[in-house]
């Protein structure tokens, strides 16, 4: 298949969106930018179209897709909306949050991986919104990477993974957030956080009585065989090069300088100059979790270019602000953490 890649310029793109919308209505695949990461879209109400996503990504069939809408109310067509959904939607949508609701029969099993629930997201990125509107149908879209590799934050990342496997890639520049949406499941008393993202637990707590954090957020092994959010059970985001996290971040520089001379390092900006002769990549400023998160997926993609046998990185704290970073990097490292070496 030939993949058409188109750079979006803004106002004059009507014709492009009309064509992209037509591709989606015809059962094709269109990759597009969102404020979090690039998505790989298909008509969410067309079982064959949704199945093409799994084939293009090499994604396990039991890992369900998020359904994207232009307006939170559009979810009523295919999901059982509740007062809590609308309360959260009024504050957080459009934006980087995904809410799991009971599904209606209209959603094909191929989209939900056979679950009786469906994930709903209303993205804020103008190109994503125009695409959904142009398609006139809800859009099922996972991150637009090959299954297991880091989520794409530029159109070049998408093309590297999916060129020849999708009909069209819309290039809207770099994603502003750089990590996927916060995923929550509504419960009787509040919600359970299944995947951390830019919307933090304490922000959710202002709108619901109780916010539980699923054990799998911090510990991939806790996901077991039947995780609440199936995507959290797979080894994910991993570079080909071995990545090892170091828990004692205060002495991270000393630790790395005692390791093999040819190792690589993901370092805080402030420490970049302190690693004698090692190959260093800039993770972002120490007290800037949003900046680190913005960089992480790009760095994980570039890590293999360092051509080193092993890369060390500091283990982030488990606090609210760093939860998304911790959750992604621990999976990228296959849970390999060095503890208490000093
Ligand atoms: O920011 C995002 O959410 C991006 C952009 C493209 O919108 N999308 C994204 O999709 O990250 P994906 O497929 O890479 O991740 C979806 C996550 C997976 O962990 C999946 O298991 C979970 O959401 N999920 C989807 N439907 C679910 C459901 N019904 N119940 C529980 N978890 C669900
Ligand atoms: Mg993904």
User: What is the average per-residue pLDDT within 4-9?
Assistant: 97
CA 1–ligand 1 middle distance (angstroms): 26
User: What is the average per-residue pLDDT within 69-95?
Assistant: 98
CA 332–ligand 1 middle distance (angstroms): 17
- pLDDT for residue 137: 98
CB 162 near ligand 1, within 6 Å: no
- Residue 136 dihedral angles phi and psi, to the nearest 5°: 75, 10
d(CA 301, CA 238): 9
CB 72 near ligand 1, within 6 Å: no
CA neighbor of 140 nearest in space, from 75, 92, 76, 192: 75
Ramachandran assignment for 258, one of left (phi > 0), alpha (psi -120 to 50 degrees), beta (any other): alpha
- Residue 41 dihedral angles phi and psi, to the nearest 5°: -95, 145
Q: Are the C-beta atoms of 243 and 303 separated by less than 8 Å?
A: yes
Model pTM score: 0.96
Res. 38 pLDDT band, cuts 50 70 90? very high
Q: Residue 66 pLDDT > 80, yes or no?
A: yes
Nearest ligand for residue 128 CA: 1
Nearest ligand for residue 68 CA: 1
Res. 118 pLDDT band, cuts 50 70 90? very high
CA 225–ligand 2 middle distance (angstroms): 19
Q: Are the C-beta atoms of 104 and 44 separated by less than 8 Å?
A: no
- pLDDT for residue 310: 96
Using CA atoms of 339, 236, 227, 118 in order, give the dihedral in degrees to the nearest 10.
Answer: 140
Q: Residue 224 pLDDT > 90, yes or no?
A: no
- H/E run at residue 185: strand 182-186
- pLDDT for residue 304: 87
CA 3–ligand 1 middle distance (angstroms): 24
CA 334–ligand 2 middle distance (angstroms): 16
Q: Residue 139 pLDDT > 60, yes or no?
A: yes
Share of the chain above pLDDT 70, in %: 96
- Least confident among 93-97, 123-127, 195-199, 233-237: 233-237
CB 195 near ligand 1, within 6 Å: yes
How far CA 247 is from CA of 18, 310, 312, 339, in Å, comes to: 50, 16, 11, 5
Q: Residue 229 pLDDT > 80, yes or no?
A: no
CB 53 near ligand 1, within 6 Å: no
Share of the chain above pLDDT 90, in %: 87
> Cis bond leading into 297, ω under 30°?
no
Q: Residue 232 pLDDT > 70, yes or no?
A: no
Count of H-run helices and E-run strands, the chain: 10, 17
Ligand 1 atom closest to the CA of 121, numbered from 1: 7
CA 66–ligand 1 middle distance (angstroms): 5
Residue of 69, 143, 217 best suited for mutating to test ligand 1, as the one with most atoms within 8 Å of CB = 143
CA 35–ligand 1 middle distance (angstroms): 15
Q: Residue 222 pLDDT > 90, yes or no?
A: no
Q: Are the C-beta atoms of 181 and 37 separated by less than 8 Å?
A: no
SS3 label, residue 60? coil
CB 192 near ligand 1, within 6 Å: no
The DSSP symbol for 132 reads H
d(CA 192, CA 16): 39
User: What is the average per-residue pLDDT within 309-315?
Assistant: 96
**What is the residue with the minimal CA distance to atom 10 of ligand 1?**
142
- Least confident among 35-39, 76-80, 147-151: 147-151
Q: Residue 228 pLDDT > 60, yes or no?
A: yes
Ligand 1 atom closest to the CA of 230, numbered from 1: 21
Max CA-CA distance within the chain? 61
Ligand 1 atom closest to the CA of 117, numbered from 1: 29
Q: Residue 18 pLDDT > 70, yes or no?
A: yes
CA 118–ligand 1 middle distance (angstroms): 10
- pLDDT for residue 46: 98
Per-residue pLDDT tens over the stretch 198-210: 999 999 999 999 9
- pLDDT for residue 233: 56
Mean pLDDT over the full length of the chain? 94
Residue 208 CB: number of other CB atoms within 10 A? 16
CB 229 near ligand 1, within 6 Å: yes
- For residue 324 the two structure tokens come to 């998304």
d(CA 82, CA 71): 15
User: What is the average per-residue pLDDT within 74-94?
Assistant: 97
| Dihedral sign of CA atoms 244, 250, 253, 254 in order | negative
User: What is the average per-residue pLDDT within 179-206?
Assistant: 97
- Higher pLDDT: 226 or 299? It is 299
User: What is the average per-residue pLDDT within 151-168?
Assistant: 98
Ligand 1 atom closest to the CA of 141, numbered from 1: 6
């Amino acid at each position: 298949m030939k993949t058409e890649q188109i750079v979006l310029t803004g106002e004059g793109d009507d014709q492009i969106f009309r064509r992209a919308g037509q591709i989606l209505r015809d059962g094709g695949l269109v990759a597009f930018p969102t404020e979090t990461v690039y998505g790989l879209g298909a008509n969410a109400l067309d079982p064959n179209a949704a199945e093409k996503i799994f084939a293009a990504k090499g994604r396990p069939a039991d890992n369900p897709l998020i359904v994207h809408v232009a307006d939170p109310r559009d979810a009523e067509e295919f999901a059982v909306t509740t007062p809590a959904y609308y309360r959260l939607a009024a504050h957080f949508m459009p934006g980087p949050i995904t809410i799991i609701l009971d599904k209606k029969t209209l959603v094909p099993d191929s989209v939900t991986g056979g679950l009786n629930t469906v994930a709903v997201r209303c993205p804020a990125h103008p190109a994503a919104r125009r695409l959904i509107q142009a398609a006139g149908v809800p859009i099922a879209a996972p991150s637009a990477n090959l299954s297991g590799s880091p989520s794409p934050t530029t159109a070049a990342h998408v093309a590297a993974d999916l060129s020849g496997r999708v009909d069209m890639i819309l290039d809207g520049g770099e994603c502003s957030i750089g990590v996927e949406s916060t995923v929550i499941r509504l419960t009787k008393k509040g919600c359970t956080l299944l995947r951390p993202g830019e919307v933090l637990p304490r922000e959710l707590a202002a709108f619901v009585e109780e916010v539980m954090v699923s054990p799998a957020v911090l510990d991939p092994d806790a996901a077991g065989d039947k995780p609440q959010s199936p995507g959290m059970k797979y080894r994910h985001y991993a570079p080909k090069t071995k990545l090892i996290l170091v828990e004692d971040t205060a002495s991270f520089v000393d630790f790395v300088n005692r390791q093999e001379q040819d190792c690589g390092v993901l370092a805080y900006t402030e420490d970049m100059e302190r690693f004698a002769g090692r190959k260093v990549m800039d993770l972002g400023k120490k007290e800037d979790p949003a900046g680190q998160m913005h960089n992480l997926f790009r760095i994980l993609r570039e890590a293999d270019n360092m051509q080193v046998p092993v890369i060390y990185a500091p283990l982030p704290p488990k606090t609210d602000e760093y939860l998304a970073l911790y959750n992604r990097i621990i999976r990228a490292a296959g849970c390999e953490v060095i503890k208490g070496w000093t």
